[in-house]
Amino acid sequence: VSVKTKSRAKQLYWKPSYVDLDAMYPDLASAGIHFDDWDAWDDPFNISYRQYIDVQAKKELGFHPVRDAFERYNGDQHVPARWYDGMKLAFPFLQTAEVAAGRAHARTARYAPAPALRAAAFYQSIDEMRHFQNHIYELRTYNQADTGFDNWAAWRDNHFTMGPARYVYEDLMNCDNVFETIMALNICVEVVFTNLIFVGIPSVGALNGDTAMAQEMLTTQSDETRHMAIGQSTLRTLLRDERNVEQLQYWLDKWFWLQHRAVAGPVGLIPDYFAKRKYIPYQQMYQRYVIDNFIAGMVDDLAEFGLKPPRFLEDAKAELPDYSHTLYRVLFQYKNVLFNRMFVPDEHDMEFFTSNYPTFEANHGKFWDEVRAGDPKDLPQLPMLCQMCGLPCVFPVPERANVQCSMYEGAAYWFCSNGCKYIFDHEPYRYAHRVTMERTLNGLEVPEIRKRMGLAEHIGGLLTPDKDI
Amino acid sequence: MPARKTFVWLSGRKRPPSEYEELSTGIQWNGAPVSRTATGQWRSDSTLLSTDWNAVRDPAGMYYRNYVVGQDAAEKQLDSVFSLAAEADFVSAIDPAWRESLTVLVGAMSFAQWGASMVMQHVMRFTLSPTVACAVQLQIMDKLRAAERCVEWFEVLNSSADEKVLHTAWDSDPSIQPLHKYVEQVLVTKDWGEDVVAINLVLAGLFEPFLRELYVRGGRTHDDFVTAALGTHLAKDATRQVAWTDAFLAQCMVDEANATVIADWVGRWLPDAIAAMDALVAGYPAGGVAERAASVARAESRARLEKLNVKLSDNVATALEGVPK
């Protein structure tokens, strides 16, 4: 029996007879976006329930035996200890992002003006359920092998390192305009950055013995390709009306930068630091999966419609030689208030850094020399966190941090970059009320800070030398 | 062998948590929204109900993995039914009067199922309960399944009809209009708790047994095994939806304020749901099967509301007792 049945969901759209059209599909969901005939919108996949279930059941039956085998045959014994500490940061973050993405797609499924977009969003939404539940499978597996995985929900809610997940993904979920959601999620997350996360990082995971995680990430990415196609077709369709270009460009500028910060910052720690066995330096990985794939591919193709590369792309590229190193240094200074453990890079790491990052020694070498000489580098207060992205205001390097400030209604707001300030200046009402976590925690002693962030006594600190770091 | 470790919020209990609980709890966060938009996130004023949102459990214990694997097997069964029916040309042997009535009903119900799934997207977007969100996500897919299979069957029953005929049943058939109106009115209802009551308790409380009886018993009576098989599958899906809804509402009903709110909602929606079912019965000429189905539906709806201790006003109780004209 063929399962290539057509989707019939689009046929089921009707114009309301007993309530107002605007009550059923409020203009708020597409305000300012122009399109002649929403009913004629096309979806490149047009998938049916039957097809979806058939394909996804096969994927699930393929993935879970790999994960089961990893647990059953003690796969964790082949994984260096430091890898788990990277995963402690990665999976609560990913889980938050996937839940928010699922709810964002649900709103598109209910309120998008085009029936075809609504129908497509049904499948995208349940895909995100698959992703967050498969990420939790990983957390369950890791939880059998190491400490620091058992209270991830509390850390997501209360820990300053998880602030960017909330700041960026909750905000993405709460967009009023579904096309901002699509630009943020389908384009800037799924087209631009998921290859980096779900294709690049699994290569590193496999090299470090984490075959379950590698398989989980790859099967996740197999769903993302569908989401990417929907995002690309939506963007291309909307760009045909020149009245949409300015708004779409702003959303591209905004959400590229926020993903560069919230996703691409923390991700860089994995290949450069938490991977004992190195794959390729993060800078090269970013070049391959973000710059070459996205900029050389989609953005160049869309130039004929007036779309330009993201406004802060050059800022992003300029940071790459220091991005992972700066962030790791900062986290190292707060190792007593983290839920993952940190470590001092060994000789092998340093050789990798100096041979792949020409400015590493000049910008970061002294810091690690002093650590090796006995300076723990612990800081008494949390760093100043960016009002927009929630990351510390330390980039490109702490000694020359590009800290920015804006005034709004008589108050000063601080930012880590030109990109974050630019977004705030465009939408200050949306973002001014956030209270960054260092403002509520600074002045408190470490035990109290740990308590407020939900850290049990044995959580965080430094990896001990008895482990295979 | 040491016991498996679990997450902090599920530990310390006599019985270890199920896979379902580990995958479905802890997934939502709390605290003030991080951005000011009109849409906002899930928040306490998105429903009049209030309970321990993290304590809700789906008795079926469904999560993504067991859902898609289970539904893939179920879909294969329906594929076989539709395929066999086509090969043996069963459709031409169906009693013409039954087929004519069925065509209108199946066509219209595809819209109702789709509408219900749209309502549930709103519920999932705003619910405060992570486990309700998971159950709703899967219910949305069940409703999509029902909608698509109903259109498929409609197309077989009406192989020469174009798409407009499908819409005609929903848009203008008099026996369908009360149901059509009901679905639209729920679609513009913003309290997600009220949406759950209006769709899963009130409407499904009547229509799921009504359709089950009509499809399964009616199909059997009229030698129509496709409709009977379709009805059996959709009824199985509906059983899961009823189970999580009643578990959720039973937990809410413990609180007196919730009980009042739920009773008010039932009082608001139930008369219209009864009217929608009775209109279908009135427009359904196929030999008394609809009357019997409606009678069973009334009894099951009444029993379900009694089990949940929902207090009904006299006029609503009388409407539920009544015999369709």
Kindly report, residue by residue over B34-58, the tens digit of the pLDDT: 999 999 888 888 999 999 999 999 9
The radius of gyration computed from the CA coordinates of chain A, to the nearest angstrom, equals 23
Residue type, A157: D
Mean pLDDT of B266-274: 97
Chain A residues within 8 A of B29 when measuring between CB atoms: 96, 153, 156-157, 166, 170
CB contact under 8 A, A125 and B69: no
pLDDT of amino acid A93: 95
Contact A319, A396 (CB under 8 A): yes
CA A324/CA A397 separation, integer angstroms: 10
Paired with A414 in beta bridges are A405
Residue B181 sits at the chain A interface (C-beta within 8 Å): yes
pLDDT of amino acid B9: 95
Chain A residues within 8 A of B9 when measuring between CB atoms: 151, 153
Task: Assess whether pLDDT exceeds 80 at residue B277.
Answer: yes
CB contact under 8 A, A17 and B184: yes
CA A120/CA A98 separation, integer angstroms: 17
Contact B308, B204 (CB under 8 A): no
Nearest neighbour of A99 by CB, restricted to B27, B30, B69:
B27
> Considering the entire predicted model, what is its pTM?
0.96
Chain B residues within 8 A of A7 when measuring between CB atoms: 148
pLDDT band at A205 (very low <50, low <70, confident <90, very high): very high
CB contact under 8 A, B114 and A126: no
Mutation for testing the B interface, residue in A24, A129, A436 having most B CBs under 10 Å? A129
DSSP codes, A434-450: ---HHHHHTTS-HHHHH
pLDDT of amino acid A209: 96
Q: Which of residues 152-211 of A touch B (CB under 8 A)?
A: 152-154, 156-157, 166-167, 170-171, 173-176
CA A383/CA A398 separation, integer angstroms: 10
Q: Which of residues 295-324 of B touch A (CB under 8 A)?
A: none
Distance from CA of A184 to the nearest CA of B (A): 15
Residue B190 sits at the chain A interface (C-beta within 8 Å): no
Residue type, B149: R
DSSP state of A34: -
CA B226/CA B237 separation, integer angstroms: 17
pLDDT band at A8 (very low <50, low <70, confident <90, very high): confident
pLDDT of amino acid A81: 94
Give residue-wise pLDDT tens across range B211-255.
999 999 999 988 899 999 999 999 999 999 999 999 999 999 999
- Pick from A94, A96, A119, A97: which is nearest to A108 by CA? A119
- Pick from A467, A390, A362, A17: which is nearest to A170 by CA? A390
Proportion of chain B above pLDDT 70, given as a percent: 98
pLDDT band at B325 (very low <50, low <70, confident <90, very high): very low
Mean pLDDT of A370-378: 96
- Cis geometry, peptide bond prior to residue A310 (ω within 30 degrees of 0): no
Distance from CA of B309 to the nearest CA of A (A): 32
Chain B residues within 8 A of A176 when measuring between CB atoms: 37-39
Task: Assess whether pLDDT exceeds 90 at residue A46.
Answer: no
Task: Assess whether pLDDT exceeds 90 at residue B163.
Answer: no
- Pick from A346, A205, A196: which is nearest to A284 by CA? A196
CB contact under 8 A, B167 and A125: no
Residue B180 sits at the chain A interface (C-beta within 8 Å): yes
CB contact under 8 A, A157 and B118: no
Task: Assess whether pLDDT exceeds 50 at residue A97.
Answer: yes
Q: Which of residues 238-267 of A touch B (CB under 8 A)?
A: none
Chain A residues within 8 A of B41 when measuring between CB atoms: 103, 170, 173-174
| Least-confidence region, from A60-74, A187-201, A420-434, B282-296 | B282-296
Distance from CA of A94 to the nearest CA of B (A): 11
Nearest CA in chain B to A424: B35
Vertex A159 angle, CA A416 and B17, to 5°: 145
Give residue-wise pLDDT tens across range A245-295.
999 999 999 999 999 999 999 999 999 999 999 999 999 999 999 999 888
Residue type, A11: Q
Mean pLDDT of B93-99: 87
Residue B18 sits at the chain A interface (C-beta within 8 Å): no
CB contact under 8 A, A170 and B8: no
Length of chain A counted residue by residue: 469
Give residue-wise pLDDT tens across range A64-92.
999 999 989 989 888 999 999 999 999 99
Residue where the block lists tokens 């705030």: A424
Task: Assess whether pLDDT exceeds 80 at residue B294.
Answer: yes
CB contact under 8 A, A176 and B4: no
Question: What would the two tokens of residue B69 be?
Answer: 């694997």
Residue type, B212: R
CB contact under 8 A, B110 and A8: yes
Mean pLDDT of B115-126: 97
pLDDT of amino acid B322: 77
Question: What would the two tokens of residue B226 be?
Answer: 């496709």
Helix intervals (H) in A112-210: 115-145, 152-158, 163-165, 171-173, 178-182, 194-195, 201-207
Task: Assess whether pLDDT exceeds 50 at residue B152.
Answer: yes
Mean pLDDT of A378-385: 91
pLDDT of amino acid B217: 92
- Pick from B160, B111, B173, B188: which is nearest to A11 by CA? B111
Residue A269: Cβ within 10 Å count: 22
pLDDT band at B324 (very low <50, low <70, confident <90, very high): very low
Q: Which of residues 349-368 of A touch B (CB under 8 A)?
A: none
Q: Which of residues 11-70 of A touch B (CB under 8 A)?
A: 11-12, 14, 16-20, 23-24, 28, 48-50, 53-54, 56-57, 60-61, 64
CA A300/CA A286 separation, integer angstroms: 18
CB contact under 8 A, A430 and B37: yes
Residue B299: Cβ within 10 Å count: 13
Residue B268, C-beta contacts closer than 8 angstroms, at least 6 positions apart: none
Mean pLDDT of B131-138: 98
pLDDT of amino acid B2: 73
CB contact under 8 A, B9 and A171: no
Task: Assess whether pLDDT exceeds 70 at residue B208.
Answer: yes
Task: Assess whether pLDDT exceeds 60 at residue A2.
Answer: no
Nearest CA in chain B to A56: B68
Residue where the block lists tokens 């063929």: A2
Paired with A382 in beta bridges are none
- Pick from B176, B166, B183: which is nearest to B280 by CA? B176
pLDDT of amino acid A299: 83
Residue B116, C-beta contacts closer than 8 angstroms, at least 6 positions apart: B143, B183, B199, B203, B204
Helix intervals (H) in A208-263: 211-239, 245-262
Residue A151 sits at the chain B interface (C-beta within 8 Å): yes
Nearest neighbour of B37 by CB, restricted to A12, A64, A176:
A176
| ipTM for this prediction | 0.95
Helix, strand, coil in percent for chain B, rounding step 5: 70, 0, 30
Helix (H/G/I), strand (E/B), else coil: A404: strand
CA A171/CA A152 separation, integer angstroms: 21
pLDDT band at A1 (very low <50, low <70, confident <90, very high): very low
